[in-house]
Amino acid sequence: MVMFKFLTYYVIPLTIIACFYILMAKHLEASTRNMPGEAVTQVGRQQSTQIRARKKVAKMVLAFVVIFILCFLPYHTFMLWFNFYPYSREVYDDYWHAFRIVGFCLSFINSCVNPIALYCVSRAFRKHYNRYLFCCFLSSNQRSGLIARQRHASTCESSNTLVHFNSTFRRQDEETVTTNFHLDKT
């Protein structure tokens, strides 16, 4: 049963995510080499920015594989050691007890580590996360200014697609806040 859990919960998922994430990282890395030559123009700077962004995403994706390995390896190492080492019950001491607890906690922490890692690595994710997390703490004047900046930023984007979304929510103090977004293809 322990070996089945090790294979089902660790080896097979690790193999799958490692294969797909490595393929994704290789594709992103290769796509940076396939971009046309860079000129010293605005287009060249944008391509250079895209290359850096793709390389950063490739590294971040590989980091998720490493995080998975680090979070689940101690738990499975302990379980394999405890169940397959013939003298494990005799040599079980405070070190192995602490190792068991750390492994158990890390296996549960893995479910929340990826968004934290993404927050630390991705400026865009951090910006949007902060915007939505701290929106409820802003005064109505600050919220209005934030909404105006969002509208201005969405109309000033260099892409050909503007994304707009309409949403209204009501806080407990009966103050209503509306943000406007909608999708236009130009």
- 121: nearest Cα among 59, 182, 77: 59
Report whether 132 contacts 150 (CB < 8 A): no
Which tokens in the block code for residue 159?
Answer: 């892409």
Domain ranges (residues) in the chain:
2-126, 134-185
Residue position matching structure tokens 């969405």: 154
> What confidence tier does 62 reach under pLDDT thresholds 50, 70, 90?
confident
- pLDDT tens digits, 131-140: 887 776 655 5
Can you tell me the mean pLDDT for 96-119? 89
Task: Output the pLDDT for position 146.
Answer: 57
Report whether 179 contacts 148 (CB < 8 A): no
Q: Which is it for the CA torsion 133, 137, 138, 143, positive or negative? A: positive
Task: Output the pLDDT for position 12.
Answer: 96
Give bridge partners of residue 167 from the DSSP assignment: 179
Task: Output the pLDDT for position 170.
Answer: 42
Task: Output the pLDDT for position 40.
Answer: 46
Point out the least confidently predicted range of 50-59, 99-108, 112-121. 50-59
